[in-house]
């Protein structure tokens, strides 16, 4: 639906009434079970691919599903991770990459990003994954997987996550969603990450 106002009206008329009790409960409670970190890509919709209802997923979406390693100073991604783990107490964290990722394609195929300095800087968070993949023939899908593993490692540098992983109160895993088939492959778990 390209007309968003019409979409809101349709939601209010056709969807909301059936979930009124759920939303009434959610109005005063917020206790998602999972922190879902996915790509901003419009084709990868966390609630849709996990059949989740409102209130279940705390979602962070970034270009390339990148999770910068913890650094003093903080940023929006770090604050969201800390809030999900330390305040909301999520038990599970998913980092989800996907097929045909524009960010991974740009890195794997060395696209010229000189006119997009912000993107170029942001994508430096894939340096470790890119170093693993090198010049392999199927670089994009390999980088998608290696990047998920690398971002899981970055995730573990955030103090709240490190604490949760050590205590066993948080489990982290990496997924790759295939857009064409709808399949989800688990490519890594905390403590046993799969590289490329
Ligand atoms: Zn993507």
Q: What is the pLDDT of residues 8-29, one digit of tens each?
A: 999 999 999 999 999 999 999 9
Banded model confidence at residue 191, pLDDT cuts 50, 70, 90: low
Q: How far is the CA of 143 from the centre of ligand 1 (A)?
A: 11
Q: What is the pLDDT of residue 145?
A: 97
Mean pLDDT, residues 134-143 taken together: 88
pLDDT in tens, 96-106: 999 999 999 99
Q: What is the pLDDT of residue 140?
A: 96
Q: How far is the CA of 113 from the centre of ligand 1 (A)?
A: 16
Is 85 strand, coil or helix? Answer: helix
Task: Give the C-alpha separation, 79 to 100, whole Å.
Answer: 28
* Catalytic residue selected from 3, 14, 30, 41: 41
In this structure, are residues 103 and 44 in contact, taking their beta carbons and an 8 Å threshold? no
In this structure, are residues 108 and 139 in contact, taking their beta carbons and an 8 Å threshold? yes
Q: How far is the CA of 66 from the centre of ligand 1 (A)?
A: 9
* Closest of 41, 32, 63, 49 to residue 175, by C-alpha: 49
Q: What is the 3-state secondary structure (H, E, C) of 59-74?
A: EEEEHHHCCCCCCCCC
């Amino acid at each position: 639906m390209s007309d968003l106002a019409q979409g809101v009206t349709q939601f209010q008329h056709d969807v909301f009434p059936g979930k009124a009790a759920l939303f009434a409960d959610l109005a005063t409670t917020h206790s998602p079970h999972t922190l879902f970190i996915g790509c901003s890509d419009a084709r990868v919709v966390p609630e849709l691919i996990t059949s989740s209802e409102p209130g279940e997923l705390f979602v962070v979406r970034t270009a390339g599903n990148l999770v910068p390693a913890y650094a003093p100073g903080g940023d929006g991604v770090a604050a969201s991770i800390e809030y999900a783990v330390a305040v909301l107490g999520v038990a599970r964290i998913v980092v989800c990459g996907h097929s045909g990722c524009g960010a991974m394609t740009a890195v794997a195929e060395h696209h010229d990003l000189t006119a997009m300095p912000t993107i170029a800087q942001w994508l430096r968070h894939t340096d470790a994954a890119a170093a693993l993949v090198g010049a392999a023939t199927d670089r994009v899908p390999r980088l998608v997987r290696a990047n998920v593993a690398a971002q899981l490692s970055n995730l573990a540098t955030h103090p709240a996550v490190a604490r949760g992983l050590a205590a066993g109160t948080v489990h982290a895993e990496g997924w790759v969603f295939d857009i064409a088939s709808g399949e989800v492959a688990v490519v890594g778990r905390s403590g046993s990450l799969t590289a490329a």
